[in-house]
Amino acid sequence: MKSAQAKIPPNYVLDGRYEMLEALGQGGMAHVYLAYDRERGNNVAVKLMRDELSDDPEFIRRFATEARAAASLDHPNIVKVLDYGQDGDIRYIVQEYVEGTNLKELIKEYGALSWDLAVPLMMQIGMGLEHAHRRGIIHRDMKPQNVLITPQMTAKVTDFGIARASIANTITLTGGAAFGSVHYFSPEQARGGAVTERSDLYSLGLMLYEMLTGKLPFDGDSSVAVAIKQLQEMPMRPSKVNPKIPPGLDIIIFKAIQKSPERRFSSAREFVGELDRFMLNPRAYFESFPPQAQNWSSSSAALTTDKGSSNYGKIEEIERNINRRRRSRLRDYILTVVIVILAVFILGYIIKVAINNFSLGSNTEGDESIIVVERYIGQNISEVESQLQQIYGDKYELIPVKSETQDKGVIFEQNPSYGTKLRKEDAHISLKYSVGKSEVIIDDVAGLTEDEARSRLESQGINPVLRREGSELIPAGNVIRTEPAAGDSTYEGARVLLFVSAGSERVLMPPLEGLSYAQAEYVLEELNLNLRGENVHYNEAGELEEPPRELRIVVRQKTNADTELRSGTTVFVEYGTQEDYQLVLQGIDLKEAARKRADREAHQQATLHLVQPRAGVMPNLLGMTIDEVRAAMQHVWPQDAPAYSIATQGEAKSVAEAGVVVVRQSIPAGNSFNPYTDTLFVFFDYR
């Protein structure tokens, strides 16, 4: 199988690891397949570059950019990239497989979503984007189709296909092809301006509008018509489209979709914070918001001014806006004329080439004066050079190009294209081939300011990724070091960690025990502290085993709460599962408990032929005191079986205290169990 242009056959094993099961769909850049990961033993989603893009160097570069950008993200509300690579001519990205649907399909199915469902979903989307923004990555194509919704109503942002670091070139509608969806474009994207994190927030505002109303805020007969509306108009107030929407959401959406980026929320964190404040008291939110922000206008946001401004100022602003629109219409007219002229020219050229090819084709058979250009893309330059010399003599050109996506020596572009017929006396060809990645020696930027160091590394073609770290010696804002270190070699486009001093600022260590690992990361990130975790979870065999990320709980922190730390310090914790945490609260050593459990398992296996396991049905223990539990369990739990575990949670100090009853049991009531092989946890708390 030479390329991804042919349909992937069932059970095809990609790169010797991913067994392709079925096609899931396709997007602007890739086909998506459900596959089985033979190494991990689970299902994954595999994205393969689309057929027509496999020979396009620009799309190949962007495909690789997607993989590198997305692989650096690790957040519960972002679809995780597990692997990426190349199998022959097939370029692929492996992502976690998310069961469910996407947000667009959810809106189509239910129409307008209830605000108490839409707002929590949008808060999850915002938290995922905030994580990406902190790592210098702007999505640039936020739309409902790029948000997956699980059956548990968890939102996961996907498809960073056109995301690039915030220093990269912007996406425009005027530079040829426009990537992304114009219905969710920010005004600065539509006009080709600088794209920032606030551009993503504008798209979130439009998405929230659609979620609440079931309708697109802006629509038109063409992409240009929609883009013009994005530049000049405000949509109808959401609560007028759907009267069930609380007025506070009108205000939040209004601020998110301001035409001027400076008037929007400053960050995804602020946007999520406002939604959270709204959810705490939806009715009181409207009154507490600044009055000027409640002035929803159906005209351009450029016309919205504060109440205290001069009428003359308003008139001047209106006149400037009218003149701006006139210039915009003139530009549109000129652009249309230019496009028509170019189209006529291109059409004439195509007709001319077709006539020439037809005249050549009618005389090709048996005519040695005609050369049909072969396909050289994908071949190595060393394999075809002698053939080129034989066919074209000295009328061929080999152009070396640095490339981080193509193997060294591989041809990735040719002119004329495959199949073109040429007269022998006029025959010529030029081929571009890769000379591999360009090696770069990392400059020493220690001591420079953050901006100076970024500029220095970017001028080398390196992608700096910011990390802050406390330092007593280096002033705040200056660079401490890089990883890899100065003087080490890397390649153009590679990520280099840039550690910048956060100064000697002191913060208090927060309590982390009992929090999920993701919550602990979030809390420490707010304090500019770094988290480093050690797994202490043991499986039934008494061996250390990594629990799934969503089940990880901080069971012990190495630094006590309220200890004063320097900003940027790395904090070390131990994590396991909720059951591990309950055992630690009881003072039980996890390693010793695991060893005893393994010994017990081994003993049970060795004496299995002597012991007849007795199955039972678990009674309902919820609401019982400790004495009632013991009375109920003595009928179903034999004395020679391993003891079940009793634990407290919440503020309970002792299971013997008055008012403390069972609030949770690990084996549900009515389930059958084997007391010799199953473990029962009984949790108590106050009524």
Residues marked active site are found at: 141
Q: How many helices (H) and strands (E) does the chain have?
A: 17, 31
Instruction: Give yes or no for a contact between 660 and 646, defined as CB atoms under 8 angstroms apart.
Output: no
Sign of the four-CA dihedral 103, 104, 109, 112: positive
Question: What 3-state class would DSSP assign to 137?
Answer: strand
* The residue type at 677: T
How many Cβ atoms are within 10 Å of 518's Cβ, its own excluded? 15
* Distances 274 to 291, 304, 414 between C-alpha atoms, Å: 16, 22, 54
For residues 317 and 301, what is the distance between their CA atoms, to the nearest angstrom?
11
Residues in a beta bridge with 449: 478
- Which has the closest alpha carbon to 93: 80, 102, 103? 80
Q: Helix or strand or coil: residue 210? A: helix
Q: Are 203 and 223 in contact (CB under 8 A)?
A: no
User: Would you say 145 and 203 are in contact if contact means Cβ atoms under 8 Å apart?
Assistant: no
The answer to whether 33 and 14 have CB atoms below 8 angstroms apart is no
* Three-class secondary structure of residue 11 per DSSP: coil
Q: What is the DSSP string of 575-586?
A: EE-HHHHHHHHT
Q: Residues 6 or more apart from 262 whose CB is under 8 A from it?
A: none
Tell me the torsion sign for CA atoms 631, 635, 640, 642. Answer: negative
Cβ proximity of 106 and 149 under 8 Å: yes
The answer to whether residues 1 and 87 touch, using CB atoms and an 8 Å cutoff, is no
Helices (H), ranges, 508-608:
517-526, 578-585, 590-606
In single-letter form, the type of residue at position 442 comes to I
Task: Give the C-alpha separation, 96 to 80, whole Å.
Answer: 6
Structure token digits, residue 583? 């055992």
